[in-house]
């Protein structure tokens, strides 16, 4: 196996809260989120999440979205000033949360990890526990 795909949720301070099961690296973000019923779990908890443009089209409720993404420009459609500002605000909020992924990547075992996704899930969940214990120190 080459490359693994996982989803993670963090709090507003960038601390890891949840890590999904790992999947092959070719898995798309939206596919993984739908498989994990991410939007349903967020709605049940009364939470929302900021996500990158890989999650465009995930949330089907435009009135009350739980997954907030930015805007993508296309070849014939440039972004308006308001859309650009929205993207900047979302990027600013997501910046702190990217530290959680940096914490995971600090574990050197993940650099050369070539495992079946089932075995990698157990390893990543153990690293999540260790990361939480390290943050509390």
Q: pLDDT tens digit string along 49-98?
A: 999 888 988 887 778 889 999 999 989 999 999 999 999 999 998 887 88
Please state which of the ranges 26-35, 82-91, 105-114, 122-131 shows the lowest mean pLDDT: 105-114
pLDDT range class, residue 134, cuts 50, 70, 90: low
- What gap in Å lies between CA 30 and CA 62, rounded to an integer? 16
Q: Could you tell me the two tokens for 30? A: 């939206």
State the alpha helices, DSSP H only, in the chain.
29-35, 38-45, 81-106, 117-136
d(C-alpha 22, C-alpha 112), whole Å? 15
Please give the average per-residue pLDDT across 22-31, as a whole number: 88
Higher pLDDT, 116 or 42: 42
Going from the C-alpha of 119 to that of each of 111, 115, 123, 124, the distances in angstroms are: 15, 6, 7, 9
| Cα distance between residue 109 and residue 127, in whole Å | 10
**Residue 131 and residue 133: Cα distance in Å, rounded?**
5
Instruction: Compute the average pLDDT of residues 89-108.
Output: 82
Tokens of 63: 């009135």
Average pLDDT for 111-124: 75
Domain count, the chain: 1
Residue 31's domain spans which residues?
4-136
CB distance 22 to 13 below 8 Å:
no
């Amino acid at each position: 196996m080459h490359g693994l795909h996982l989803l993670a949720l963090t709090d507003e301070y960038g601390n890891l809260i949840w890590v999904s099961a790992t999947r092959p690296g070719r898995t798309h973000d939206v596919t993984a989120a739908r498989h994990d019923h991410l939007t349903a779990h967020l709605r049940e908890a009364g939470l929302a999440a900021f996500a990158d443009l890989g999650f465009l089209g995930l949330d089907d409720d435009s009135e009350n979205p739980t997954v907030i993404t930015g805007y993508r420009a296309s070849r014939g459609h440039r972004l308006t000033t308001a859309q650009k500002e929205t993207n900047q605000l979302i990027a600013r909020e997501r910046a702190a949360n990217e530290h959680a992924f940096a914490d995971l990547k600090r574990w050197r075992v993940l650099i050369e990890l070539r495992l079946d996704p089932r075995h990698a899930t157990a390893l990543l969940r153990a690293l999540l526990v260790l990361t939480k214990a390290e943050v509390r120190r």
